[in-house]
Amino acid sequence: MAENSQPSANYSTWPVILALSIVSAPLVLMYAYLFIDTITDTAVGSLIPDSFTLRHWRFLWETPPGKPNIWLVTLNTLIFTTSVTTVILLVSSMAGYVLSRLNVPARGFFLAGVMVLHAFPSVTLIIAIFIVLQMIGLYNSLIGVILVKAAIDLPLGIWLMKGFYDTVPWEIEMAGVVDGASRFRVWRSLVLPQVRPGIMAVGLFSFLSGWSEFILPQVLAPGGKVQVLSVYLSALIADDNNFDFGTFKAVGVFYIIPVLIVYALFHKYLMNIYGGGSKG
């Protein structure tokens, strides 16, 4: 009976696959042309490239006048993104455990506050943040924008990690306590391995959020020495005198390559975010 039902199930899904393919075809075509336009020259109004060229990618070995070096900008982006991800993972993994396991005072109020902070638009705080960073001397520095970005994204990380900790059975911790392990040792050696999918998912979300961040670096760290790729890309549009659409597309492709690599390596952990941590 099961063998007879399998072919009918396959036949019933092909219209959905066909419909999704038709809808996705324009997007795939646009992404294909995005890359093709970076390595070719095309006449205005034509869809067929005229010639092959690498001049749109010359920003990799030449620094355009008035622009920072692309490799310095890329290094700044990597430092910014990895630092934000590290801070979020460290704080949310500890705070989520405390909120899930310990009976701290005003626990419910704190959880509600975490959700409110996550729902609050960060752009409405940009003026106050700007003034605070100027007063403490962290304006136009990577450290300042890293701290601000991490603080804004922490509520989501804490809430997600708490959900993963809630799925870990108490028996695992009790077994460690009975064997004489400290609470910290139990958390580090027994509980953290059980929520590894959550750690990977939060880390991936934090990395993608930091890599694509534009408003905070643009306002809080606009200088050329601390510029990130999103701000660099925006500056290309603002340069009306030397704007090259092919170079703009090439920088965009260069910008998304690390994201594609990270997503290809860790996308499977995103599926675990709906199922919670692994039970032992």
d(CA 74, CA 59): 12
d(CA 137, CA 135): 6
Which pair of tokens denotes residue 59? Answer: 């920003």
Q: What pLDDT shows up at residue 172?
A: 83
d(CA 58, CA 80): 25
d(CA 134, CA 132): 5
- Find the DSSP H helices in the chain: 2-36, 70-101, 107-119, 126-136, 142-166, 170-178, 183-186, 196-212, 215-220, 229-238, 245-270
| Average pLDDT of the residues of the chain | 83
Q: What pLDDT shows up at residue 134?
A: 92
Which of 66-70, 186-190, 243-247 has the least mean pLDDT? 243-247
Quick one: 32 exposed, middle or buried, by C-beta within 10 A (0-12, 13-18, 19+)? exposed
SS3 label, residue 51: strand
d(CA 201, CA 198): 5
d(CA 33, CA 88): 37
Q: Which residue has the higher pLDDT, 212 or 9?
A: 212
pTM of the model as a whole:
0.83
Q: What pLDDT shows up at residue 210?
A: 93
Which pair of tokens denotes residue 143? Answer: 């450290």
Reported as a single tens digit per residue, the pLDDT across 195-238 is: 888 898 899 889 989 999 999 999 998 887 899 999 999 888 87
CB 71 within 8 A of CB 77: no
